[in-house]
Structure 1
Amino acid sequence: MIVTDRDGRVLWREGNRTIMRRADQIGLADGHQWGEHNVGTNGIGTALATGRPVHVYSEEHLMRILHIWSCSAAPITDPDSGRVIGCVDVSGTARSLHPATVALVATTAKLAEKQLALCMHERDERLRRRYESLRGHPGVLLSSTGRVISGDPAGDLGGRVHLGERAGQFAGQRMILRDGSVALLEPFSDGFLLRPSSAAAPPVLALSFLGEGTPSAAFGEGDRSLSLRHAEILTLLALHPHGLTAEQLSFHLYGDAGNPVTIRAEIHRLRAQLGEAIAAKPYRLTCPVEADFLSLTRLLSANDPTSLARAYPGPLLPRSESPEIRRERDELEAQVRACLLRQGSPDDLWTYAQTSGGRDDYEVLERLAALPPTDPRSAAARSRLLS
């Protein structure tokens, strides 16, 4: 039986002495790493990678030297942080292990998680008692990992606040919450307090990315034009408010051919323009965002075709080849078109016909061509249909 950390490093083992001597020969011993990126498919590494119990039979191991071994493993998840923190594994020199071995390691992992949860609740209770001793219970009480413990009865914070990896180093750190309000993060005993901030609200990042014009952003003092790549990065961060790693951004922008190093360089240049609007680890926007393509989504939900037509000057970043942005662009175009054809007035359809997507749209032009002959929009539509 083996217990590892989250990287697959063996922390402890116990078992038959003869089997343990054979395990020494393949590195199945204290201090050795068994993550999938180290030794390929194996019980420990695969359980950690998939986040669920697995049974790996002899020939299923990637390395031939392991083909005389079979193993069952289950990950252990920390109930406080929600992250996988280790693994419990049973391995043996046999063509296969009893099918119930998977249930055995899964149950063992669950027992470990229950013990961790008990310790977590005891810490929470001690922290809650200290919090309740404060007059008026100011602020929202958080655990050291950002779990909401007390002070948010309506659940507005969603159960957890993303603190970042170095939150404990910054007393009085300002944070932007999900509803756009500003709060100060202060250390409190073994956790944190979120207190309402009396400081002025942070500047809003306004993004104008719809239509054929040059993408632009407004943050702080005045507007600034953006390169297509910077506009793509901001679009993806606005669409993923919880943040993206460099690897995820690279994949969304370039697909499998992406390079995270290129993304880090572009983010560095972008932060030189927008400063504290972009945070790292993961990359995310830390200020309120007003984007024309996000406003469009709200108008679609409101079923207001007139406002929708006025708010849609054209597709989202039409020159972008990013797979993620192309998918978002096509979905927005299809939803706007469907709404206007279903509910739009002739004025709304004519406004849409001035966009790049609506200029040669046969169905839209047919609707406009059916207007009375005295309406100039009818003649223009017939002309486009004939061209």
Structure 2
Amino acid sequence: MTTHDARGASGPPDSRHPVEHAHLLHQVFDAVLAGEPGPMMPRALVSESWQRSLAAQIDPDQRTPPVVVQDAELPDLRTAHPLNAVMPLLRSTLVSIADEAMHVMLVTDADGIILWREGAARLLVSADQVGLQPGTRWTEDAIGTNAMGTTLAVDAPVTIHSAEHLVRTYHAWTCAAAPVHDPDTGDILGAIDISGPLHTVHPAMVQLVSATAQLAENQLRVRLAIADERLRVRNMPHLTSLRGKAGALVTASGRIIAGEPYGAWPERVALLPGADRVRLEDGREMMVEPLAEGFLLHAPRKGAAAPNRSALSLRFMTDGAPSVLLNGTAIPVTLRPAELLTALALNPDGLSAEQLALLLYGDDGNPTTVRGEVLRLRTLIGSDVLRTRPYRLAATVDADFHAVRRALRARQPAEALRACGGQLLPRSDAPAIRDLRDELEAGLRRAVLDIYDPDLMGEFIAHPLGRGDIEAHDRLLDMLPASDSRRPEIRTRLSRLLSEA
């Protein structure tokens, strides 16, 4: 199935009327599959995709995409996927256009599984009938040539029009898609696609999707830069503790974000899971010491073994489940272990069973009960991390509540707000947790309201802690000029809050 078509591999297939062009493509499709001469050759992009699809034994006449993810599994997959962070951008950029133009917007993961689908309601019914729905896989080896699968295969924006789809079921559709890349590793995270009836095709579809993918990558790049800076600030004490000796802070993916001496480090190092040392390209051997969210590289210490202090990351200020990482590995915890870890993190010098019982249960606390809970927690994180006599954490602890408290004490409300994902363990009634939760929420709210910063106030009313704050909404309306486009939405939300008060 060779081709001599000189047109661009990923650009629009033709500039003539969509229906006329679709008719021509049907003739090309039938001729190629029959092994007969046709009116023209398919585009190189399409020809090569057909070859890959047919080699995967895709049947052009009878095929639907496999359902690989059930509806109940989709919410967790969406929440965990990196593209979830840019879905507001994708919706604001593409969904309104898709509604008006009778298209659907689809977003897949790197395996071609549709995770999100939005667009014109009438078209969603038609999409359901052909399996164009969340949970289905659209790689070329699953459903043949299509914009989502082909863009993942060639790592470039593509348009697939009508009979360029290998499976006849989709000859009434035209689709444009572009890949989205991880700004950290460069790997493909997934694909963004606009699909619709062939009569709605527009030559600019692929450019629109490609530009939107670039916007998404830029937003991910900004988020990565912010995360790098936070990681750098939190862990600079580890680098400083080397007292001028060679060392570097490394992200979990192996990127070096700070080093001493400056300029003497590669951009990235290859860290094998569990390895305690790595050899750099210049031949230097460095020890790898795990931190809560990354690693510290330093030269081997002569005459002594490098300390093996564990790194514990606690993310408890969230509307979701509490999150614990031990040396980069997730540790599943329920509410009571999270409360214990919070109390121990707040008291690094250690606590007795009696003191822990008072902090967690109040005057009715039973030390015997606490000892049993500590024993269960030690089985989760290890006796080398949770020590006894007194109970204490023998680890480098990075906790979100520590970060919020430090930022508030340093009078940095923007940093405090961004370090806070929500309430501290909102289901906890432990006295120590309640007191800290009230302290952080009140301190954060007051810090935001005490300064004249409309952008920060806007972040606050969009934050879980500020969504229901009537005074904050009212204050922001006073700050914004009458021409500000945000005013109608804020006024509507304020009216709703007042009606519910």
Which TM-score applies when normalising by structure 1? 0.47
Which TM-score applies when normalising by structure 2? 0.37
